[in-house]
């Protein structure tokens, strides 16, 4: 009995420690990636060359093929609200999400980390019925403007209104997704629509006039796109997260190079399904290296913080969002260093708060 006692004690200790011992990490088999679908055609599209390049060239798939990890892409027609719901239900690991939807998700308690920028400076356009005489915001006071509420386009319009001394109370805003908004304007069922580059298509067909847009301005009202990772995923798989961010930086480098300008337009034309002249018009006047910068720089973070503060003030969200605490730049910094791209993207001038 004396010889068996140590073994019995060891067995007893192991049995007691068993429930408290950490289980070995399960091997990662799939990474679930979510993107709002901006496509007007048969191919899915993020609306940005960086993400579309990564998707069409299977960059993430190539990176993780040797590990046997599958990449599952999901393009959501219902955009930000659907992706936030997927985050809440732990159905996705990574998402590329417009600024307001990302802010809303953070405010409602979706545990995510802000990993990188994927695009900035996407334009918004105010389309009005041709010949209506609506040549300014003042002429639209009390009129109906269609905008997709709760999405990046909504925050874009709010910023443009505020920067010109107006608020949403000066107009009648109704929620229409991009396709429905353009169709309603073409049918003259609303007075105006605030939307993305699709408004250019209506103008070229004589179905809209554009008295106001963000193009060529100081950045007010433009849309930024984020790369988010579920906090639990990032905490459990930091090495995988760094590789995901590194692939994103590689795609951003491709889409930022001037010699790839035509290829970037062709890619968006194919994926989004809009005519090439429209995409060229959307991208004109903005260096690719500025638009497609992945940096979590002062400009990008202030864009998000000012938007979060405005969303709280306007009761679009019920909790404040601290963008500095939300941001997790260490993976991006590591990727930039490994790829020797730390100094490739220029730092932009300070972002101007359109609400003050």
Let me know if residue 9 belongs to a domain. no
Q: Provide the pLDDT for residue 11.
A: 43
Same domain as 98, residue 71: yes
Read off the pTM. Answer: 0.88
Q: According to the model, what pLDDT value does residue 345 have?
A: 95
- Per cent of the chain over pLDDT 70 is 93
Q: Are residues 148 and 190 in the same domain?
A: yes
Q: What digits encode the pLDDT tens for the residues 208-227?
A: 999 999 998 888 999 999 99
pLDDT at 267 over 90: yes
Please check whether residues 174 and 278 belong to one and the same domain. no
In whole angstroms, what is the distance from residue 327 CA to residue 72 CA?
Answer: 25
Pairwise pLDDT comparison (198 vs 171), residue with the higher score: 171
Domain housing 167 = 125-213
Our count of domains for the chain comes to 2
Give mean pLDDT, residues 147-151: 90
pLDDT of residue 25: 57
Distance, in Å, from the CA atom of 223 to the CA atom of 196, rounded to the nearest integer, reads: 10
For residue 301, give the 3-state DSSP assignment. helix
Q: Is the pLDDT of residue 2 over 50?
A: no
N residues, the chain: 356
Domain shared by 183 and 132, yes or no: yes
Q: Is residue 16 part of a domain?
A: no
The closest alpha carbon to 152, from 179, 120, 127, 109, belongs to 120
What CATH number should be reported for the domain holding residue 324? 3.40.190.10
Asked if residue 307 and residue 242 are part of one domain, the reply reads yes
Q: Quick one: DSSP state of residue 73?
A: E
pLDDT at 300 over 90: yes
Is residue 300 located within the same domain as residue 226?
yes
**Cα-Cα-Cα-Cα dihedral sign, residues 129, 130, 132, 137:** positive
Q: What is the mean pLDDT of residues 127-153?
A: 95
Average per-residue pLDDT for the chain = 90
What is the Cα–Cα distance from 297 to 85, expressed in whole angstroms? Answer: 28
pLDDT band at 156 (very low <50, low <70, confident <90, very high): very high
159 part of a folded domain: yes
Report pLDDT for 273: 81
Are 99 and 232 members of one domain?
Answer: yes
Report if residue 205 sits inside a domain.
yes
Q: What is the mean pLDDT of residues 26-47?
A: 90
- Cβ(82)–Cβ(307) below 8 Å: no
Q: Decide which of 179 and 113 is more confident.
A: 113
Residue 229 lies in a domain: yes
Confidence of residue 49 (pLDDT cuts 50, 70, 90): very high
Question: For 282-292, what is the mean pLDDT?
Answer: 84
Confidence check: pLDDT of 18 > 70: no
């Amino acid at each position: 009995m004396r010889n068996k006692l140590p073994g019995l004690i060891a067995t007893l200790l192991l049995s007691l420690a068993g429930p408290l011992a950490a289980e070995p990490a399960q091997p990662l088999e799939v990474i679930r990636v979510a993107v709002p679908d901006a496509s007007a055609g048969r191919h899915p599209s993020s609306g940005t060359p960086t993400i579309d390049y990564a998707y069409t060239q299977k960059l993430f798939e190539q990176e993780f093929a040797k590990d046997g990890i599958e990449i599952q892409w999901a393009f959501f027609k219902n955009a930000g609200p659907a992706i936030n719901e997927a985050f809440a239900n732990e159905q996705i690991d990574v998402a590329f999400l417009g600024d307001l939807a990302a802010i809303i998700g953070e405010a409602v308690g979706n545990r995510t980390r802000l990993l990188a920028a994927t695009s900035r400076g996407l334009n918004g356009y105010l389309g009005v019925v041709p010949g209506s005489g609506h040549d300014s915001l003042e002429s639209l006071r009390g009129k109906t403007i269609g905008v997709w509420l709760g999405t990046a386009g909504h925050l874009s319009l709010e910023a443009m209104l505020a920067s010109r001394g107006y608020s949403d109370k000066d107009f009648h805003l109704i929620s229409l997704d991009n396709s429905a908004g353009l169709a309603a304007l073409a049918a003259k069922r609303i007075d105006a629509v605030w939307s993305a580059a699709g408004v250019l298509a209506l103008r070229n067909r004589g179905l809209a006039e554009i008295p106001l847009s963000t193009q060529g301005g100081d950045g007010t009202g433009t849309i930024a796109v984020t790369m988010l990772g579920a906090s639990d995923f990032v905490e459990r798989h930091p090495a995988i997260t760094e590789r995901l961010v590194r692939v994103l930086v590689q795609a951003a480098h491709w889409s930022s190079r001037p010699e790839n300008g035509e290829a970037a337009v062709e890619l968006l034309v194919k994926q989004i399904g809009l005519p090439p002249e429209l995409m060229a018009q959307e991208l004109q006047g903005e260096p690719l290296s500025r638009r497609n910068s992945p940096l979590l720089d002062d400009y990008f973070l202030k864009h998000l913080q000012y938007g979060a503060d405005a969303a709280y003030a306007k009761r679009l969200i019920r909790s404040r969002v601290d963008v500095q605490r939300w941001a997790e730049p260490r993976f991006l910094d590591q990727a930039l260093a490994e790829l020797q791209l730390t100094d490739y993207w220029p730092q932009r001038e300070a972002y101007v708060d359109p609400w003050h």
